[in-house]
Amino acid sequence: MLFRKRWQELSQLRKFQNDLMVELIQSRKKVIENNNYDDDGCFVCYVDTLLNLKLPEEKRKLDEGELVALCSEFLTAGTDTTSTTIEWVMANLVKHKHMQQRLVEEIEDVVGDKEEKKVREEDLEKLPYLKALILEGLRRHPPSHYAIPHAVTEDVILNGYFVPKNGTVNFMVADIGLDPTVWKDPMVFKPERFLRDETSSSNILEAYDISGKKEIKMMPFGAGRRICPAYKLAMLHLEYFVANLVLNFEWKTLLSTENVDLSEKQEFTMVMKHPLQAQISQRSKIVT
């Protein structure tokens, strides 16, 4: 068999995946069967919806293998993409010290002299430069460079190109965000492009539709009816974590490195080829 070693690794990973997930799925199944939601303090969760789901065409419920695959996809899509984006944003904040300084100053204006140094969810809407940083991170370093492919239902001519019925269509997510006809200096990490006045120090966010309902300039979460259903939650998590990481810690390059290597490497998501290594120290006080 070709690639025997890789096949063995795949089999071991699949077994580990099953061993991890099946026990949790069976546990939730017992909760549903015994109607013990109130007794053990549990709430309805994602697995519960899958256990109750029926496939209308095949007139059956999901089997164990399908449940494992869907749960794994749910966890990976909800955690790996977020952590990857956070690393890219923090890497750029380490590389561009003035951006980190500007973000800290913006947070200070909102958080003030509170005893607890923490950005709360209700504070995020008051931090436009933070949102601009996250948007620029998603434009320049989208965790996925490709969207899920789709097929056209009939023959169509798109911008002079003939696409036959059932032809596969894919969207190059990364290339859309780097289109020089749409973005000025697309290879440059520049959060100010999402602010109303790029040349000013004022942080007024320019209205931008990341869902693609009005126009598509970038689509890190997809677009249309099949856009990532949790993209708003993802934005909330990204803003919350980055804000608190910067508020409480100062991020610098290591003494042994003069710069941050932003080379890419394709794994499940597009990660840093050389993971971020930074010198992190607790901020003694909020910068003024």
Binding site residues for heme, as ranges? 228
Strand segments (E) across the chain: 54-55, 60-61, 150-151, 156-158, 161-163, 168-169, 249-253, 264-266, 270-272, 278-282
Cβ neighbours, 10 Å, residue 230? 16
Decide if 227 contacts 147 (C-beta within 8 A): no
Decide if 273 contacts 264 (C-beta within 8 A): yes
Please name the amino acid found at residue 277. Answer: Q
Longest dimension (CA), the chain: 65
Strand segments (E) across 119-205: 150-151, 156-158, 161-163, 168-169
Structure-token match 């690639």, residue found: 3
Please name the amino acid found at residue 198. Answer: E
Instruction: Give the span between the Cα atoms of 113 and 262, in whole angstroms.
Output: 35
3-state secondary structure of 209: coil
Which residue positions form the known binding site? 228
Distances (CA, A) of 210 to 13, 124, 206, 216, 284: 35, 17, 12, 8, 36
Instruction: Give the span between the Cα atoms of 134 and 235, in whole angstroms.
Output: 8
CA angle in degrees (0–180, nearest 5) for 144-148-153: 155
Instruction: Give the span between the Cα atoms of 257 and 147, in whole angstroms.
Output: 35
